[in-house]
Amino acid sequence: MDTELLERTARELVAPGRGILAADESNGTMSNRLAAVGVEPSSETRRAYRSNIFATSGYQSAISGVILFDETIRQKMSDGTPIPEYLASRGVHPGIKVDTGAKELAHHSGEKITEGLDGLRERCAEYFAMGARFAKWRAVIRIGEGMPSDANLSTNAHALARYAAICQEQGLVPIIEPEVLMDGEHDAQTCYDVTARILDETFAACEVQGVHIPGALLKPNMILPGKSCSDQGNREQAAQLTVDCLTNHVPHNLPGIVFLSGGQSDEDATAHLNLMNGMDVEHPWQLSYSYGRALLAHALQTWASGSNEDSQGAFAHRAAMNSLARTGDWSAELEV
């Protein structure tokens, strides 16, 4: 394990003012999004849309890395340059989604276990050779009647830790993503309690597996009430609860936290991050972003209408807004 390489890459991914673009939707998910905006889905339309985003001018100041799907890391830009090579040439680290999806957890209806450990070492070695320098594995934790179960938390924590250890062995910084979903009627305190439990279990499993924490990143949900909860609280409460939970349950030698947007509006995701970074306290880790839809939703709609330039402008704007949120300097007036 090259700890120096891992730590350097992790620090670069959460460098001041920068965050990660999550462009790792599976072929099925990306095809559905294309179809929803009136574009015929295919390997070529998926490539054309993403390569247009990657060719945006100047976004490197706000984007340090891009998470790719297996299809995308093997594709080329319109000029024939392999996508990982193109990103690296612009000072952006190529990353790769390495799990194979969440499947039903045996004997636990409604709960999921993320799979993909079989053959992971070989896949990581191949991706590193292709230029990838970090990876992502997502676990999903659902809140509901009797959920999450102890089995759901322990199996996903173990899988996240094993994934992280294998990635580091092969030179890839692991992004550890235990996502507590927003679906449900639960309140913010319940989200806090469940998030605390999965974080504790995950980092305990990482210690057992020998994961080098200074060479890893965490991609958590923010502490928010369920979408169907009658009390949605406010942005300030969400920011404070999130910081409190992370401070109490995340190792302080982790270099950075890259939040997922997870069902929030574009502006809410930016505003919450801005509030956290604007607090009068020195956080032990960098607080950054690893957004997908919160960076690209409007860009996709604009691209579907036929304007590559306007699509790039929409992406560049959202990236700039979140870059400002890294220092607490964003305001709603800048969204006009």
Distances 124 to 18, 95, 210, 331 between C-alpha atoms, Å: 25, 11, 18, 40
CA max distance for the chain: 53
Count the helices and strands in the chain (H runs, E runs). Answer: 12, 10
β-strands 102-104, 286-291: how paired?
A: unpaired
Helix axes 43-54, 293-304, angle to 10 degrees: 110
The structure tokens listed for 139 are 């676990």
Cα distance between residue 91 and residue 60, in whole Å? 7
Q: Which residues have a Cβ under 8 Å from the Cβ of 45 and sit 6 or more positions away?
A: 34, 39
219 in catalytic set: yes
How long is the chain? 336
177 in catalytic set: yes
CB 231 within 8 A of CB 186: no
β-strands 134-141, 173-180: how paired?
A: parallel
Sign of CA dihedral 323, 328, 331, 334: negative
CB 293 within 8 A of CB 33: no
Q: Which of 12, 111, 177, 201 is catalytic?
A: 177
Indicate the SS3 state at residue 242.
Answer: helix
Q: Which of 219, 282, 333, 335 is catalytic?
A: 219
Residues with catalytic function:
177, 219
